[in-house]
Amino acid sequence: MADIGLSAFSVFFMQSPSFLDFQRTMGRSKGRHNAASLFGVVEVPSDNHIRSVLDAVPAQSLYGMFDTVVDKLVATGTLDEFRSIGNDLLVTLDGTEYYRSERVHCPHCHVTHHANSRTSYKHMLITPAIVKAGRKDVVVLAPEFIRNADGQAKAENELTAAKRWLGRKGDALSLLSVTIMGDDLYANQPFLQLVCEQEMNFLCVCKPQSHKYLEECIHSHRQCGEVETLTTTEWTGKEHRSTTYEWIEDVPLRATEDAMTVGWVSVRVSGEDGRKIYRNSFITNHPLTKETVAGIVAAGRARWKVENEDINTLKTKGYNLEHNFGHGSENLSETLATLNILAFLLHTILDLSDRRYQLLRNTRGRRTRFFQELGTVACYWYHAGWQSLMYFMVTQLELPDPGS
């Protein structure tokens, strides 16, 4: 089982579909291979064997690896570098589709019956990630799969899966001091009440069209002069841009007697010619003052990182999350997706902590180029370990060795 799990993981980590084929060839010709020295694989299994065995392995059995990495980041103080408003970690949630087919499916697929009598099947997941405004890197957490129990009954939606994720991870995350972030979908009272019950904070996009009662309340307070405002100006290098904040605390989220009260803040960025550059609004339970409002909005705007730096990277920067590596009839699709996301997490950790890896990533430009070269080096030369491989690449490129 270790050989099978590590072999599958090695393909995602190296971002090379042919990595295992080369290791089998290397093992036969040289009696040793990098699958063993880099990943601890004793015997390299066949691709079909990997898929057939992993189909019976639930993705949740891999979640402990994500927890171990987070614990290491906490122990080394690295995670503190991601702290933001209220000294919290910003954990943002977003759902995405990662598999679609009209032919291959399993019991967990979401089923869509189209008007033209076609039927399509898809898989979706939520990718939680720790983000911070001003940082390009994100720390991904274990995914939560948005599932369909039997392929025919009413499927879960993103919010239902997010509530289950809160139940699973809430106790551990609350110890880290966390603010949960999400798009307008998550500005939902039952969900936010669960967040508060777990002793966590929230900061969510809140669109006027989907929260009409809240918008009416804000309009009423604005007419009474009870909405506070702040305008700042900054030079971008090309023009002066003005940013106007409006905020008010303790407004009801919905038109019910049991409505929770929230803080509301909007932001509007304009150019010198008056054109609108950016506009958005958020709800939060963080205190809103002239001293905090800009930081809270900056944190709210960092939510897009889960799409650009997390989901977009997984789909377009070499991880090919939407590629069908194997679907299976039970768990394979979810388990392989989890291994793929785990590889992304460990690449991030290397980028935060491994000086040779940092140097090579910065020197070789595009992520895909670096991994192409990494795969080539690992396929044609044997290396005694990870640092041996990194040192080989550094010296062959005649770069100054920064050490391990």
Q: Which of 353, 362, 363, 364 is closest to 386 using CA atoms?
A: 353
Query: pLDDT grade, residue 151 (50/70/90)?
Result: very low
Whole-model pTM: value is: 0.92
Alpha helices (H) in 124-276, listed in sequence order: 158-174, 189-197, 212-223
pLDDT tens string 18-28 = 899 999 999 88
Lowest mean pLDDT among 217-231, 258-272, 307-321: 307-321
Mean pLDDT is lowest, of 26-30, 55-59, 72-76, 381-385, for 26-30
Query: Domains of the chain by range and CATH?
Result: 1-54+354-404 (no CATH), 55-353 (3.90.350)
pLDDT attached to residue 307 = 65
Amino acid in the structure at residue 106: C
Instruction: Kindly state the average pLDDT of the residues 353-372.
Output: 92
Q: Is the pLDDT of residue 150 over 60?
A: no
Q: Which pLDDT band, with edges at 50, 70 and 90, does 214 fall under?
A: very high
Report the alpha-carbon distance of residue 404 to residue 200 in Å, rounded.
Answer: 37
Q: How confident is the model at residue 246 (pLDDT cuts 50, 70, 90)?
A: very high
Across residues 7-25, what is the average pLDDT? 92
| Close Cβ partners of 209 (under 8 Å, ≥ 6 residues apart) | none
Is pLDDT at 48 greater than 70 in this prediction?
yes
Q: pLDDT band for position 117 (50/70/90)?
A: confident
In this prediction, residues 63-88 reach a mean pLDDT of 95
Whether pLDDT at 186 is above 50: yes
Q: What is the DSSP secondary-structure string of 272-284? A: TT--EEEEEEEEE
Confidence of residue 250 (pLDDT cuts 50, 70, 90): very high
Cα gap 357→383, rounded to integer Å? 15
Q: How many CA atoms lie within 13 A of 87 on its CB side?
A: 4
Parallel, antiparallel, or unpaired for β 240-252 and 261-270? Answer: antiparallel
Average pLDDT over residues 371-393: 94
Question: What pLDDT, in 10s, does the model give residues 163-177?
Answer: 999 999 999 999 999
How many angstroms separate the CA atoms of 180 and 30, rounded?
51
Average pLDDT over residues 38-59: 95
The token duo for 144 is 């939560």
Kindly tell me if the per-residue pLDDT of 10 is higher than 80: yes
Considering the chain, what percentage of its residues have pLDDT values greater than 70? 97
Percent of the residues in the chain that have a pLDDT greater than 90, as a whole number: 80
Do the beta carbons of residue 292 and residue 284 sit within 8 Å? no
Task: Identify the pLDDT of residue 152.
Answer: 47
Nearest-5° Cα angle at 251, 248 to 255:
150
pLDDT tens per residue, range 306-362: 666 667 777 777 778 888 888 999 999 999 999 999 999 999 999 999 999 999 999
Contacts of 395 (CB under 8 A, 6+ apart): 401
Q: Average per-residue pLDDT in the chain? A: 92
64 vs 106, more confident: 64
Amino acid at residue number 246 = E
Q: What is the per-residue pLDDT for 29?
A: 87
Mean pLDDT within 353-381: 92
